[in-house]
Amino acid sequence: MKVQLFVPPGGYFAERWSRGSSMPPLGILSIAAVLEKEGVEVEIVPADVLGLTRRAIAQAIRRFEPDIVGVTSTTENRFQSFDLIRLAKKTRPKALTVLGGPHASMAAEDSLAHIPELDLVVRGEGELTMIELCRALDGNWDPARAAAVPGCVLRLDGRIVAAPPRAPIQDLDTLPFPAFHLVPFEKYNFVIDVPGRGPLPAVNIMTSRGCPFACNFCATPVNWGRRVRMRSPENVVAEIEDLVRRYGAKVVFFYDDTFNADPKRVGRICDLLLERKLDVLWRCEARLDLIDKPLLAKMKQAGLFHISCGLEAGSERVRNQVVGKKIDIADFHNLVRWCEELGIIPNAFFIFSHPTETWDEARETIRIVEEYKDRVEATVAILHVYPGTPLERTAKDLGVLPRDFSWAKRHDRRIVTLLAAQGDVPLFMDKLSWAQVSELLFRWSLGGGRISIARKIPRILKNIRSFGDIKRYTIMAWVFLRLRLGRRKNRKT
């Protein structure tokens, strides 16, 4: 068996990756490592960082002659993934086309129903499913055999059928380290800016899977499970040592949803980093109410310089009753104070336009952002709707998403998107008007938010698709000018 795994040309849509730096794709790197260990010939083609055209992708497929073409997908880049699946089937009709990744896992049936060139979706963790799929096929495509492989969704006798769900991998230490050697690591130009030291070479690591919490907008508990499975501290630090030795990394980005889900494990990782005298700095995303000052101090001693947390909303009702965050605002205030005392950069995630959120409640959020603008990095977004989440059900119940909405169809004018800034993902618009949402975003950006309006103008003009887009961007321009003129007037006063 020969397996060729692709990242689509568009890569991963996010503001932080729009300035020439990107992260290696841990999901397919892990799958490739397992396939390679089992003797399967595997190739990874990161079409994004290689800048490959459709013609170059087709040439790569013809050269490798794969039995399976696998493509990873997120909701933001799903249309690029779908196009690559179509191109792969046209280029090599005999190859099995497989879609994986977060979007495919949550919208498997929808993808298969609308993309005839797609043969199969791998739902959830892909490592063991891909191995068993290779063994079941043995070079011959047989839908009946594939339908018996847990985690697979496919067409059988004209119907879309789903095999039983695959049980989560309980011992993540049994997995080999991701196959970084199969991608051109230098092409990612993965650097992280560290205050006082400038941009430093970085690596990304995931040390756990799953999330025990239940935020209404998040697909992680559905995709990875509510039970958090964690790699041992020894296994984690061994991978860090390996990546530092091979790639000269100076910064580690722990890409876990909740790095401190087990505070004792975090403490042990810190102890090992200190014992082995690893000269690395690191950043992570943490849960506010699972951290105290002694642990934070140890994390700082072991190299932590930047910590992110999700507050999501200033209103306690919205944050805890609507989102389901279950976070006390006092925990946020404490973390900010501790970070200032220890010399750590705090970053907080905020979201506007939650279900039932009023204008007064949304202004509670922006007041916190503005109050802490010189003390906390703020990451701000309009609420996105992702497939398979509780929020998707709410969106359909309220008519934000039509009942017959398909994630596989482009340019549905019945939904609201902000393609140039937030990706081709439906935005949840409930109680707030577009002018109010625009005011919240621009109060953040004009107050020092990490976004350049001027840089986005060419993308905005390029991606106008309807009269609704023109209307929304016109409203945004009016709000932006009004706020900017108001700020100039206040400064003169």
Please report the pLDDT score of residue 226 as a whole number: 80
What are the average pLDDT values for consecutive 10-residue runs of the chain, which has 493 residues? Answer: 93 60 93 97 96 96 97 94 98 96 95 97 95 86 89 94 94 97 94 93 96 88 85 98 95 95 97 94 95 97 96 96 94 97 96 97 96 93 94 95 94 84 86 94 79 62 77 90 82 70
Question: Within the chain, what is the greatest distance between any pair of CA atoms?
Answer: 76
Sheet holding 345-352, edge to edge: 191-194, 198-205, 251-254, 281-285, 304-312, 345-352, 377-382
> Residue 427 has what pLDDT?
95
In a domain, 291, yes or no: no
Cα 382 to Cα 353: distance, rounded to the nearest angstrom? 6
Alpha-carbon distance of 189 to 185, in angstroms, equals: 8
Cα separation, 103 vs 425, whole angstroms: 11
CB 317 within 8 A of CB 357: no
The pLDDT of residue 453 is: 59
Question: 487: which residues sit within 8 A by CB, 6+ positions away?
Answer: 446
> How many domains is the chain built from?
1
Residues 175/149, Cβ–Cβ less than 8 Å: no
Assess if residue 127 is contained within a domain. Answer: yes
Decide if 136 contacts 149 (C-beta within 8 A). yes
Specify the residue for token string 């910590």.
307
How far is it, in rounded angstroms, from Cα 474 to Cα 461? 11
Distance CA 369, CA 375 (A): 10
Residue partners of 324: CB distance under 8 A and separation at least 6: 213, 214, 215, 216
Q: Does residue 1 sit in helix, strand or coil?
A: coil
Query: One-letter amino acid identity for 438?
Result: S
- Does residue 197 form part of some domain? no
Quote the CA–CA distance of 88 and 439 in Å, as a whole number: 44
Q: What is the CATH number of the domain that holds 157?
A: 3.40.50.280
Is residue 119 one of the residues assigned to a domain?
Answer: yes
* Domain carrying residue 59: 2-162
Residue 62 makes CB contacts below 8 A (sequence gap 6+) with 91, 92
Say what the pLDDT of residue 14 is. 54
Q: Please report the pLDDT score of residue 223 as a whole number.
A: 81
Any domain includes 246:
no
| CA-CA-CA-CA torsion sign (109, 113, 114, 119) | positive
Residue 217 lies in a domain: no
**pLDDT one-digit tens code per residue, 318-361:** 999 999 999 999 999 999 999 999 999 999 999 999 999 999 99
Is there a domain that residue 318 lies in?
no
Decide if 375 is inside a domain.
no
- Residue 140 is predicted with a pLDDT of 78
